[in-house]
Amino acid sequence: VFGPTHNPGFSVRGLAPAAPETEHPNPSYKDKPGPAATASKVISMATAHARLGHLSTVTIRKAVANEAVHGLNVDPTDLAKAEVPRCKVCVEAHLNNAVIPKQRTRMVLRPLQIIGADLQTFDTRSHDGKRYMAIYADHATGMLATVNLTTKAQQADVMMGVLKRFEAISGYRIDTLRADQGGEYTSRRVADELRKHGIKQKVLRHRSTFPKWTRGDIREEDRQNGQGGAGAIG
């Protein structure tokens, strides 16, 4: 409880009786204006709200009108405003659920658990008429294979050869093939071959079927080597 002569800031009336004023050892003490005797500095409503423990602005207005708080001098302009800036601390304190941004998490995968497949188009045909690059990438290890094609339909001709070679090299079985909705991946022939080999098929609606960390490498290889680079098969 702050006494009337020892108040460094605010004191609220009615909370507890103030201690009786005692004789100060310095006789000239009362002649010197203390903090409570000087004019209080004008502060904004936001500052008063924070200093008073995030008190309601309605209560602060009543406290100023009734002079319930010593030394509280709120800017009259702020007092007259119908709306005041919202306090971030108060908003967060009243949330039922914490706002946590969604973050992509990289799943722990075994080798060949998920194979992503996609087609890239060359701006210029190769000398032997190839225009497309079929790309197959293992999401767990980054193992990559590419095959150059003349038409998109040829993807069905080379797909199982690439997938079987992945299994032979790694010693693992492929669990799922992820691809987009292109006809080269959704045909009955592709579905039947995958089912026969025990590979699940997942068709995605978004553009890329590769994990984020591999897409830049694939695009760079596509630009630098129109023939598919050192990882080409076939």
One-letter identity of residue 139: H
What CATH architecture applies to the domain 114-231? 2-Layer Sandwich (3.30)
Q: Say whether 148 sits in a helix, a strand or coil.
A: strand
pLDDT in tens, 185-203: 999 999 999 999 999 999 8
The ranges of the chain annotated as CATH 3.30.420.10 are: 114-231
**Measured distance CA(59)–CA(104) in Å, rounded:** 44
The reported pTM is: 0.46
The span from the CA of 63 to the CA of 80, in Å, is 14
Closest of 159, 161, 154, 138 to residue 218, by C-alpha = 138
Contact 55, 62 (CB under 8 A): no
> What single-letter amino acid sits at 82?
A
Tell how strand 114-121 and strand 132-138 pair up: antiparallel
Residue 25 pLDDT level (bands cut at 50, 70, 90): low
- Map residue 222 onto helix, strand or coil: helix
Confidence of residue 206 (pLDDT cuts 50, 70, 90): low
Q: How far, in Å, are 4, 56, 105, 132, 166 from residue 228 at the CA level?
A: 85, 67, 30, 10, 17
Average pLDDT, the chain: 76
CB contact set of 26 (below 8 Å; sequence gap of 6+): none
Mean pLDDT over 52-58 rounds to: 87
Dist CA 54 CA 71 (whole Å)? 17
Class of residue 118 by CB neighbours under 10 A (exposed 0-12, middle 13-18, buried 19+):
buried
Q: Using pLDDT thresholds of 50, 70 and 90, give the confidence band for residue 133.
A: very high
